[in-house]
Structure 1
């Protein structure tokens, strides 16, 4: 039950952010993964990597120095053992030589080859910001938006958000509409976004969630109804949180944190590791303590 919240304002005034993003990745604690890093084969891209046997190299969220970012969210209720791995969709978009619209048009024709997904693809340019969403649930659908706006996407069918996505988007808008959109308040912004991403209030009952997770127990559905998920009984929950704020095409900052096992297959250790990356004249990453997120 991953979730992503996005704000775009391509015509932001001086001293304001053009793009603000916050996202959680929810996954089995035991699924092996690499935390966010700059990729050896594509050093202009930063993101985590899936290390599940047979799915190595895929990712759920990544961004590039070219101003592109993408997030993949699996839609509940439909997987196929014969489908292609969805984790390749994000790297393919980031590496594409064509514009976002053309790339997604090509993907649209073969979306049925994958299990259910929502793909959010963003292109940040000097002259604008395009936000594309492609989903292969039901009738394959696409949306495109440009200009100023708020977007919230989860593991739901296109246009049918769960309660937690709607509530989270409202809280996200509150963070952004306050001092958070000003670049001078970047630390306050990050604090507000991280507080949102570790929000564990349950938004249940939820008819949409109950429909998507009809084969799950009421206890699990309730656990899935919060933005930050912790369901130790199933060794499942929020594994990674990410925030990004950009005030120009070339300069931005991103904060990422990951939770997982010391070694796959061992007893769950409640720990976080974190990276802060700033993109501009030089790229760098460093360890960043994230004690408030520890569960």
Structure 2
């Protein structure tokens, strides 16, 4: 996952709204979002290479999502798959600060967002800090929570403007925001340890590149009655739409 935008307790009808893009190599095998047969309460896409996921929700109304922290100098080849962390956060036992403190060293650097509209937290594995998100708009990309990278500011502003002027969020409008491929000027690019050419590619909300880019967009809407609406749209290396999935989880099956 490359970028997550969160609107927490900002909309009168939808206390939790998440817009997320997963960026990954296009050759990495992936399964579209679905309810997992082996974990019936889990709705998520699946990384078929390592078996984990980048973003998911549970029938108990919880969500979890992960972004890699872009720190090439800290990456090691023998680490565990970070997709396991999302699965653990969505299991019955869940995940907590002590576990993350003890075991995050076995994974390459990451941000893990997990919880629900009542308690949404983000763990930064580099600083080993767990932050409870305050009501408002937040963004998480490949640095720290709420870093002011151009694409983070651009997406947050666009989502805030849409939600503040619409009684009901428009999924298609949010998808449009998440497919904005505007690149930042060189003078505004962050320095994250990759080449200037890749800093340019990675500076847009939607990354279009034949080798590595945005593979999918997910929109999660949770309303005041507890109903979850989960949308996923998938893309190929040329930016073509590969399919769209829509799921609704009714509040009568939420714990």
TM-score, length basis structure 2: 0.90
CA drift of 1:79 comes to 1.6
Work out whether residues 154 and 161 of structure 1, in 8 Å CA contact, stay in contact via their aligned partners in 2: no
Distance 1:38 1:60, change over 3 A: same
The answer for the alignment partner of 1:172 in structure 2 is 159
User: Whole-Å Cα distance in 2 between the matches of residues 204 and 116 of structure 1?
Assistant: 27
The answer for the alignment partner of 1:277 in structure 2 is 247
- Structure 2 regions of 5+ residues with no counterpart? none
Distance 1:105 1:249, change over 3 A: farther
Query: What are the within-5 Å matches in structure 2 for residues 103-142 of structure 1?
Result: 103-124=96-117, 129-137=118-126, 139-142=127-130
Work out whether residues 163 and 206 of structure 1, in 8 Å CA contact, stay in contact via their aligned partners in 2: no
The answer for the alignment partner of 1:72 in structure 2 is 66
Distance 1:177 1:105, change over 3 A: farther
The structure having more radius of gyration, on CA atoms, is: 1
User: Whole-Å Cα distance in 1 between the matches of residues 146 and 207 of structure 2?
Assistant: 23
TM-score, length basis structure 1: 0.78
User: Whole-Å Cα distance in 2 between the matches of residues 111 and 194 of structure 1?
Assistant: 32
Q: Does 1:41 align with 2:38?
A: yes
Query: What are the within-5 Å matches in structure 2 for residues 91-240 of structure 1?
Result: 91-97=87-93, 103-124=96-117, 129-137=118-126, 139-146=127-134, 148-158=135-145, 160-179=147-166, 182=167, 185-186=168-169, 189-205=170-186, 209=190, 211-212=191-192, 214-216=193-195, 218-232=196-210, 235-240=211-216
Distance 1:206 1:51, change over 3 A: farther
The answer for the alignment partner of 1:87 in structure 2 is 83
RMSD value, Cα? 2.3
Work out whether residues 30 and 260 of structure 1, in 8 Å CA contact, stay in contact via their aligned partners in 2: no
Aligned length: 251
The answer for the alignment partner of 2:22 in structure 1 is 25
CA drift of 1:191 comes to 2.1
